[in-house]
Structure 1
């Protein structure tokens, strides 16, 4: 079993000491049960922006750990006991059996949010959270995850089925349409990333996805350009975007996701008929 950390140059310089220490603490708490530690989100997709991005980490352990151990892990990684240099840390722990099979469920053992600009959260019950966040993150982890420790992501984290992914993306768009707790620029850029996944079957960094959608969709080009300009600013300096335009754009995104889901369903029916 491979137990080597990621190459230092593959991790943004601002995060290297922090993520190395996070892995060290995870090993200290989990011991031989630790299978893999994987960076996902903007770090994995090569678009981490210091002062704007948080850092997303997926941990896999070889069996469901006692809640006491998981609580100890959350305490060991909580800001400011371990000062987070990003806007926050979003860390999710799965057991190996769950992570190894495709699923549209949340399925986590621990969900930890902590950091200077992130509301603190510790959950041991996946029923407390919408499943879509975790389904999307596991897809990113499988396809693009950056190994920080242990076995490669593709060996331990399964890709969710496309139908489950599209359901998760649709729920994500619905969440961003509600607007609660989300910056307007991030709502627009996440919408662009959803459209690009539906069109290409690949996850792209938000800014790259936004540039591609802006190039093909002239009517949304000014809104996307404004979102990109705002995204260049620190999170607490983000600019407001026209609420009606954002809602119109997200409604258009939802239609694209629904079309992709319908096409996927039709493809399954055709294959069933051939059988």
Structure 2
């Protein structure tokens, strides 16, 4: 990667040309206002699955970036203008004045979703989005984000305060409990990751977290192992999971998260 601070081998080979071009276009549009381009999500956690995972990228800019540049950036990175080799690109732009301090808000300047399996969306109004997605993503980024360009992640992204983070995890579990718009395997694996975070304070890759839950919770082991097998397949061939068992598991997850929240006094 251009101006990479991380070992480039940490980025999957099939994504390197795409991410190099993404960085190049972002630098062209943002110019001297660009501070960092960071790989987050499954890339940062070492659990990217080609054909299944999205590419998650966080861009940090100076607040002086002209508003028109956000529109230009969305156009420059939109699929198929820049063909996305993954299921989709989820890219979030923050200003340094927001992302450098802990916050429980969404707070983005641009939220771009694009790709072959994602509906194109370029949202400039953070107030319209549930905050929990972004709080959790910033927590993961602060812990393990990969710097593709510019300043290292911990110099630019503050970790959310624990009460805000636990509130976000509770909201995430509620979202996945409802199930609408989410694959069953991803609902289960997100639940595993939430439980392990509550126990350890660390974000793990979904499959690693699933192994920990499967070993510790015999009752849920068959469901969790089935979710891992499904997750290792493309989205189009995901394995159906028993709806009742998924709901029961997520109710258990929610109870564990609520227990941690109460213990933390939030």
Structure 2 length normalisation: TM-score?
Answer: 0.97
1:61-100 map, 5 Å: 61-63=61-63, 65-100=65-100
| Equivalent-residue separation in structure 2 for 1:107 and 1:196 (angstroms) | 26
| Equivalent-residue separation in structure 2 for 1:224 and 1:49 (angstroms) | 18
Q: Does 1:29 align with 2:29?
A: yes
Is the 1:87–1:118 contact (alpha carbons within 8 Å) kept by the matching residues of 2?
A: yes
**Number of residues of Structure 1 aligned to a counterpart in Structure 2:** 264
| Cα deviation code 1:141-195 (max 9, x no counterpart) | 1110000000000000000001111100000000001111100000000000000
| Equivalent-residue separation in structure 2 for 1:263 and 1:177 (angstroms) | 22
Is the 2:84–2:115 contact (alpha carbons within 8 Å) kept by the matching residues of 1?
A: yes
Aligned to 2:151: 151
| Cα deviation code 1:41-71 (max 9, x no counterpart) | 1100001111111110000001153332101
Aligned to 2:219: 219
| Equivalent-residue separation in structure 2 for 1:173 and 1:14 (angstroms) | 32
| Cα deviation code 1:74-115 (max 9, x no counterpart) | 000000000000100000000001010000000000000000
| Equivalent-residue separation in structure 1 for 2:76 and 2:35 (angstroms) | 18
Q: Does 1:166 align with 2:172?
A: no
What SS class does the counterpart of residue 82 from structure 1 fall into?
coil
| Equivalent-residue separation in structure 2 for 1:88 and 1:60 (angstroms) | 20
Is the 1:79–1:114 contact (alpha carbons within 8 Å) kept by the matching residues of 2?
A: yes
What SS class does the counterpart of residue 262 from structure 2 fall into?
helix
Is the 1:189–1:206 contact (alpha carbons within 8 Å) kept by the matching residues of 2?
A: yes
What SS class does the counterpart of residue 36 from structure 2 fall into?
strand
Aligned to 1:231: 231
What SS class does the counterpart of residue 173 from structure 1 fall into?
helix
Aligned to 1:4: 3
Aligned to 2:126: 126
| Equivalent-residue separation in structure 1 for 2:119 and 2:40 (angstroms) | 20
Is the 1:106–1:135 contact (alpha carbons within 8 Å) kept by the matching residues of 2?
A: yes
Q: For structure 2, list consecutive stretches of 5 or more residues without a partner in the other structure.
A: none
Is the 2:40–2:141 contact (alpha carbons within 8 Å) kept by the matching residues of 1?
A: yes
| Equivalent-residue separation in structure 1 for 2:64 and 2:160 (angstroms) | 21
Aligned to 2:251: 251
| Cα deviation code 1:124-154 (max 9, x no counterpart) | 0011110000000001111100000000000
Q: Over the residues paired in the alignment, what is the CA RMSD in angstroms?
A: 1.1
Is the 2:33–2:64 contact (alpha carbons within 8 Å) kept by the matching residues of 1?
A: no
